[in-house]
Amino acid sequence: MGACPLRRVYGLADCNNFYASCERVFNPGLAGRPVVVLSNNDGCIVARSPEARTLGVPMGVPFHHWRAFLEKHGAAVFSSNYPLYGDLSRRVMDIIRQGAPEAEVYSIDEAFIAYTGAAAAAATAHARELRGRILRWTGIPVSVGLAPTRTLAKIANRLAKRDAAAGVVNLCECADMDAVLEEIGVEDVWGVGPQYHRFLRGHRIRTARELRDAHPDWVRRHMTVRGLRTCLELRGTPCIPLAESPPAKQAIGCSRTFGVPVEKLAVLEEAVADYTARAAEKLRAQQCAAGAVQVFLTTNPFAEGQPQYAQAATITLPVPNAWTPELAAAARRCLGGIYRPGYAYKKAGVLLFGITSASAVQMNLFEQDRPFAQQRRLMETVDRINARWGRQTIGIAAAGIGQPWKMQQAHLSPRYTTAWEELPRVRA
Ligand SMILES: [Mg+2]
């Protein structure tokens, strides 16, 4: 492909092993040790450091099956500290947003950046500087992939992670794209799920290069227009808008830039409820449950002379779930905690994270009488009706939330960044 025309370059900044990195920021003794993070109520393993991965600890498995093994290998085990991860995520995202006019949060630990014009030519230098700044200011290591499309930026990011010391890979400068794409399994291409993976394997399409070179008509016939877009993106033609991006695995979000600046809390509440409902629908489509809800709010950092404010809040749910009314109630509480009057807000968003498969959810001892089955059936019905008649057919009304019982969090690290009494201590 050689040098691509530098009209537009997409970057994907992705934190390395985000949850494990958050735990390490305040606990340098963890460097080099296997680290795992557990879901709500210490149920399943939801994050692993590279050392834990190397040991062969799988993702999403019940912790109690692996407890002895982890002890034997000297692993550090943490209960999910979503307020800490949410806060560090906000800091990382703030740094990204301040440095790039066109940045979109994609996940709890990932953001896309679009570079246009002169910025496109300087994208590599910008990414290196951004990466250094994030590491210095937050302690979180980030890798940045740059490419002519988002799908290729995802691939560039994989390559950047492999070489953690460099941390930035720009595929616009790549002289041999064939060799790069040859090395990437088709299942690792953004948006290729397990079903398409099986289908493609059956047709002897095993690498990203083979998918790129498949006939567009054939791809369109068998993989719909979404598959065709992926194919075109692999060829270097950007055609997947962020709003139609495949959902992230670690977090599911919905955020919008407002048409006009918004000042009133009531309006923000409506927007946030709507985003939550959309994100919850995506969550259920993947048969997943979320362990935490984050809401973020920001003014326009590029509007000069206006008072600026950006904040985010995270709430850990008593039990991971996909029940829209409970997620929406949590989102509303987050928003209430961060809203300040007197600012012209440009954007708000909701992120559901701490994702586990719905079947793996471990029920809290105190919540066993929750009507899970009925809630699931009701949500399935709502999703079916909205799929059939349009997404706004059935919406949610603000719903109350029951008393959240204290969770089991036996391995919880302190909330280093959001609670004064839990600041890290330096020994005299
Ligand atoms: Mg990551």
Cα separation, 221 vs 223, whole angstroms: 6
Measure 94 CA to ligand 1 centroid, in angstroms. Answer: 17
DSSP character at residue 185: B
Cα 17 to middle of ligand 1, angstroms:
5
Cα–Cα distance list, 36 to 45, 49, 235 (Å) = 7, 6, 38
Spacing, Cα 110 to ligand 1 middle (Å): 6
3-state SS class at 331: helix
Ligand 1: centre distance to CA 259 (Å): 31
CB 273 within 8 A of CB 335: no
User: Measured in angstroms, how far is the CA atom of residue 13 from the centroid of ligand 1?
Assistant: 9
From the CA of 29, how far away is ligand 1's center (Å)? Answer: 22
> How many whole angstroms from 414 Cα to the centroid of ligand 1?
22
pTM: 0.79
CA of 391 to the centre of ligand 1 (A): 30
| E-state strands within 34-141 | 35-38, 45-48, 76-79, 103-107, 110-116
Residue-level pLDDT, tens digit, the chain, 428 residues: 444 455 899 999 999 999 999 999 999 899 889 999 998 888 889 899 999 999 999 988 889 999 999 999 999 999 999 999 999 999 999 999 888 868 888 888 999 999 998 889 999 999 999 999 999 999 999 999 999 999 999 999 999 998 777 899 999 988 899 999 999 999 999 989 888 999 999 999 999 999 999 999 999 999 989 899 999 999 999 998 877 777 777 788 888 888 888 999 998 998 899 899 989 988 888 888 899 999 999 998 778 888 999 899 999 998 888 889 999 999 999 999 999 999 999 889 999 998 887 776 544 444 555 666 677 777 777 777 666 655 555 555 443 233 222 345 667 777 777 766 676 666 64
DSSP H stretches of helix in 286-355: 324-338
How much distance in Å is there from the Cα of 197 to the middle of ligand 1? 22
pLDDT score at 388: 63
Q: What is the distance in A from the centroid of ligand 1 to the CA of 277? A: 25
Q: How many angstroms does the Cα of residue 14 sit away from the middle of ligand 1? A: 5
CA of 250 to the centre of ligand 1 (A): 8
Span from the CA of 261 to the centroid of ligand 1 (angstroms): 31
CB 151 within 8 Å of CB 230: yes
For residues 227-260, b (16+ Cβ closer than 10 Å) or e, as one string?
bbbbbbbbbbebbbeeeebbbbebbbbbbeeeee
Report CA(15)–ligand 1 centroid distance (Å): 4
Q: Ligand 1 mean position to 141 CA, how many Å?
A: 10
Nearest-angstrom CA–CA distance, 386 and 408: 36
**Structure tokens that stand for 386 in this block:** 């909205």
CA of 143 to the centre of ligand 1 (A): 9
Cα 352 to averaged position of ligand 1 atoms, centre (Å): 15
| Residue 351: φ, ψ to 5° | -125, 130
Beta carbons of 170 and 131 less than 8 angstroms apart: no
112 CA → ligand 1 middle, Å: 13
Could you tell me the distance, in angstroms and rounded to a whole number, from the CA of residue 382 to the centre of ligand 1? Answer: 32
210 contact partners, CB below 8 Å, separation of at least 6: 186, 204
The CA 152 to ligand 1 mean position distance, Å, reads 16
The helix or strand, by DSSP H or E, that contains position 13, with its residue range, turns out to be strand 8-15
- Cα–ligand 1 centroid distance for 93 (angstroms): 13
End-to-end CA distance of the chain: 58
Q: How far apart are CA 350 and CA 346, in angstroms?
A: 14
Q: Which residues contact 395 (CB under 8 A, 6 or more apart)?
A: 274, 277
Short-list 229, 177, 173, 240, CA closest to 208: 177
Look at residue 366 in the predicted model and tell me its pLDDT. 47
Type of residue at 235: R
- Give bridge partners of residue 37 from the DSSP assignment: 47, 78
